[in-house]
Amino acid sequence: MADDNKLQIPRVKLGIQGLEVSKLGYGCMGLTGVYNSPVSDEEGISLIKYAFSKGITFFDTADMYGAHSNEILVGKALKQLPREKVQLATKFGIAGMGNSGMIVKGTPEYVRSCCEGSLKRLDVDYIDLYYQHRIDTSVPIEDTMGELKKLVEEGKIKYIGLSEASPDTIRRAHAVHPITALQMEWSLWTRDIEEEIVPLWN
């Protein structure tokens, strides 16, 4: 009988700033119910710990998942894992849902308040990878990135990521501070990022 503990998940570098993660990450959104019913804290913590035991060290959450409850659950699980061996990603930028869709915010004040809130809910001293979940086109990306850069300098976040950003936004953001990761759909059904985003990233 094969020993499944021998399975080794490869590690990869994101960006060129030094962040190394397990090639397979664990998206925690479903633990607090989005496309399904939420699981109990006990079950959610158990799932995260099991993933870690199999070599997954990269865990992804966001402040808007489960109206903050997802970060709280992930934080509880992290207390039972060696923090220095975990790469934690979370996100800010979606302030809620309105009649016309997502309410997106990216002001410097909002960036800081979201980061402070996530640190408290996750009960950690720093966030490894902090994404802007959606781009606030009413705020210059330079202003948003300027505050994120300050948070890096303060040690509250280590690396910065963008989600669903245009090529121009990526260029302008990267000019303020290096962007370590992009989170965008890339699949057999959605290939359009191959036209501009992938060449830009390379």
User: Hey, which residues are catalytic here?
Assistant: 65
The residue to which tokens 């496309």 are assigned: 35
CA gap 112, 135 in Å, rounded: 16
CA gap 142, 36 in Å, rounded: 37
For residue 20, what are the β-bridge partners?
A: 13
CA gap 60, 27 in Å, rounded: 5
Phi, psi at residue 28, to the nearest 5°?
Answer: -90, 0
